[in-house]
Amino acid sequence: MNTLPGILVYTLLVSLLWVCGIHGDMTLEGIADPIFLQFLTANATALAHHQPLPYNTAMGFSSLFVNVGGTGATITLVLLMLFSKSKTYRDLGRLAFPSALFEINEPVIFGFPLVMNPITMIPFIVVPLVLATGSFLLMSIGWVSAPSAMVPWTMPPIIGPLMATNWDWRAAVWSAVELVIATAAYYPFLKAAEKQMLTDEQKQVTAADQ
């Protein structure tokens, strides 16, 4: 679980379960959390003794660095929906944003929906893998500190990583970059879904007029 292949397999399983309509994080946390908590304890002890942090994937790695704004980094999809041409998506974006800010993304996962959706399934699975890879590599080379403090998983992006890494400003910067990466990844897929939604909305208006 503290290797790049291991954390990528874990991240992939979480995403795959979600797109099947199963809460991936809750399903796997019974197995994974005890391991991540041990890693966090070891990192906190190392930090107190001014030693290198031994574990990149300590508790907080997945919840704060990979699941930016919820599993799949879906806060970026919510932000894009706020400016959608589709009224349906704009309304959903307004509804989902407050909870997405605190990493709760069920409104968008089941409301968009992302479950069993062949269009948005791709970024929902790929984006976490990209963010996990980038975070792991940056921590491995020492450009970003690994988590060393217990932080609630509901902390917003940028603030959560900053607190979890003993106020390492580079973690906050990387979290902001992650938001940009995820936004760019979701944009073309939202536009494809938006095109279909606009067509459906126009049909509804036409039917109502008749």
Tell me which residue range forms the domain holding 35.
4-209
pLDDT tens per residue, the chain (210 residues)? 999 999 999 999 999 999 999 999 999 988 999 999 999 999 999 999 999 999 999 999 999 999 999 999 999 999 999 999 999 999 999 999 999 999 999 999 999 999 999 889 999 999 999 999 999 999 999 999 999 999 999 999 999 999 999 999 999 999 999 999 999 999 999 999 999 999 988 877 777 666
Crossing angle between the packed helical segments 24-48 and 4-19, to the nearest 10 degrees: 150
Q: Name the helix (H) or strand (E) containing 97.
A: helix 87-100
| Euclidean distance between CA atoms 11 and 15, whole angstroms | 6
Please tell me the total count of domains within the chain: 1
pTM exceeds 0.75: yes
